[in-house]
Amino acid sequence: MTELATIETAVTIVLLLLLGAVTFGIVRVRGLFAAVVLLGVYSLLMATLFIVLDAVDVAMTEAAVGAGVSTVFFLGALWLTDTVEAPARQRQFMPLFVALVTAGALLWGVSDLPPFGSADQPIHREGADYLVRSLPETGIANVVSAVLASYRGFDTLGETTVVFTAGIAILALLKRRRGEGGN
């Protein structure tokens, strides 16, 4: 293992530990403002992890949407509502149970994957030749547009729907706030 790979592994482990600590903080904190700030920190840590994993496009999206737009939407919602979470009446173990079952299913699913970074993964053997296939298959000359509009059309539609729905929710909260003020 080269020195650069060792440093990259160490940075990845540190980022994963920080993500775990921030996740624990998000779950345990009672103030909604603190939770929003921790969610922004979580998104920035995820963006950094994506950069370490050489997924710069995903990192930019996570930084812009996760840490930027989402944090602004959450802060806007807090401005329109109360900033303190209502106290829980009793301990609820069902969400913890569902989270543990989901984590177990994900770990079981990941256990059968090839080693991280290996050259014999399916993505390297087939399906990654968009430059050659995009024009004949889609008729779109721009490869990026072909991937976003054709190959990943439903994914792009879903992302657009989520952002649009969040914007409509903020507008509804703003309208409600303005109506309460008597304007």
Q: Tens digit of pLDDT for each residue in 136-182?
A: 888 888 887 887 778 777 887 888 888 888 888 878 877 776 666 55
Full 3-state SS string of 36-70: HHHHHHHHHHHHHHHHHCCCHHHHHHHHHHHHHHH
pLDDT at 43: 94
pLDDT at 18: 95
- Through-space distance between the first and last CA atoms of the chain, rounded to whole angstroms: 66
> d(Cα 31, Cα 129) in Å, to the nearest integer?
48
H/E element holding 86?
Answer: none
- Whether 142 maps to a domain, the answer reads no
Both tokens of residue 103? 């984590």
Residue ranges making up the domain that contains 78 = 1-85
- Whether 30 maps to a domain, the answer reads yes
- Whether 182 maps to a domain, the answer reads no
Residue 143 phi/psi, 5-degree rounding, is -65, -40
- Whether 66 maps to a domain, the answer reads yes
pLDDT at 181: 57
- Whether 136 maps to a domain, the answer reads no
- Whether 93 maps to a domain, the answer reads no
pLDDT at 177: 66
- The CATH number covering residue 15 comes to 1.20.120.1200
- Whether 153 maps to a domain, the answer reads no
> d(Cα 8, Cα 1) in Å, to the nearest integer?
11
- Whether 170 maps to a domain, the answer reads no
pLDDT at 111: 87
> d(Cα 37, Cα 72) in Å, to the nearest integer?
10
The low-confidence residues of the chain, meaning pLDDT below 50, are none
**Tokens 């390297």 -> residue:** 124
Contacts of 178 (CB under 8 A, 6+ apart): none
Q: Are 59 and 47 in contact (CB under 8 A)?
A: yes
The domain total for the chain is 1
Please report, to the nearest 10 degrees, the dihedral formed by the alpha carbons of residues 20, 23, 25, 28 taken in order: -120
Contacts of 22 (CB under 8 A, 6+ apart): 38, 41, 42, 45
